[in-house]
Amino acid sequence: MLNSTISIKLKQRINKLDSQDYDNIECWQIVESFNKAQVEWARRQLHGINILKEGDEQSTRRKDDLQVLLLNKDIVVTDKQDFYSAVIPNDYLQWKRVNVFACKGCCENRRMTVYLAEEGNLNQLLRDKAKQPNFEWAETFATLINNQVHVYTNNDFEISSTDLVYYRQPRQIQIQGCVDPYTNIESTTNVLSEFKDDIIEVMIDEAVSILAGDIESSVQYPRGTQTAERNN
């Protein structure tokens, strides 16, 4: 869907709300609210995959809608004695899995089964013989902390290669000629949403709610007041 179509639809829907505060919506407000809506939609879909007991058809549709966000990226890991550490990519949104190949002595490139663990359970996992990293069983665990992924070895093996499979942040739309009021930078190009039109329709509804809330807040708390509060 073209950005011009998104703009028209968003303005039409927000003007159906009974408020004079919604006149003269600027392009940067459309861009900001729609980009927020994309992230909110993606998080909601990912959350649904994790917790809802859906039928195969519904679950498959969710996964199909999110395929555009799924990435497999090689990551450089650094040996930290009992674990290997890597920086999470800047566009990271949610974990899918990490693929790890390990070696020990003359045994090389064994693919490990890696499960995601809570950082708070770390000491318990390392002490538990049934759960601690084990090369012979080809099993280990990883944690996420401070924008890093830690894959644990417990000094039992070495990691030869690692790639992270994750859902990235949705690509942000841009409207050519639109000036960001926060940076005063003018967009020089049009960047379209990467989602299908039926999904964009849902995102537009979400963007209307976000924008209406932002406008209501700005009416109650003028921009200067908000800026002062942020600086305190």
Q: What is the mean pLDDT of residues 193-214?
A: 92
Average pLDDT, the chain: 85
In angstroms, rounded to a whole number, what is the distance separating the alpha carbons of residues 97 and 95? 6
State both tokens at 99.
Answer: 């693929």
More confident residue, 24 or 31: 31
Q: Give 24's pLDDT tier (boundaries 50, 70, 90).
A: confident
Q: What local confidence, expressed as pLDDT, does residue 228 receive?
A: 38
Domains of the chain: 3-65+172-217 (no CATH), 67-168 (2.40.30)
Give the model's pLDDT for residue 58. Answer: 56
Whether the per-residue pLDDT at 206 is higher than 90: the answer is yes
pLDDT in tens, 46-82: 887 555 455 444 567 777 889 999 999 999 999 988 8
Percent of the chain with pLDDT over 90: 64
Give how far Cα 179 sits from Cα of 30, 36, 37, Å: 12, 17, 20
Long-range CB contacts (< 8 A, 24+ apart) of 156-160?
Answer: 156/104, 157/102, 157/103, 157/104, 157/133, 158/79, 158/102, 158/103, 158/104, 159/77, 159/79, 159/84, 159/100, 159/101, 159/102, 160/101, 160/102, 160/103, 160/108, 160/109
pLDDT band, very low/low/confident/very high, at 217 (cuts 50, 70, 90): low
Output the six-digit token pair for 181: 């009021």
Is the CB of residue 70 less than 8 Å from the CB of residue 96?
yes
SS3 163: strand
pLDDT value of position 55? 44
**152 bridge partner residues:** 83
What's the rounded mean pLDDT across residues 10-23?
72
Amino acid of residue 65:
D
* pLDDT for the residue 227: 38
The mean pLDDT of 158-166, rounded to a whole number, is 93
pLDDT at 17: 65
Q: Sorting pLDDT into bands at 50, 70 and 90, what band is 136?
A: very high
Q: Could you tell me the pTM of the whole model?
A: 0.81
Question: pLDDT-derived band of residue 100, with 50, 70 and 90 as boundaries?
Answer: very high
Q: How far is CA 219 from CA 2, 6, 17, 173, in A?
A: 30, 25, 16, 26
Of the candidate ranges 85-99, 127-141, 183-197, 211-225, the one whose mean pLDDT is the lowest: 211-225
The pLDDT of residue 166 is 95
What is the distance between the alpha carbons of residues 37 and 13, in angstroms, rounded to a whole number? 15
Other Cβ atoms within 10 Å of 210 Cβ, number: 18
Confidence of residue 134 (pLDDT cuts 50, 70, 90): very high
State residue 4 phi and psi, 5-degree precision: -65, -35
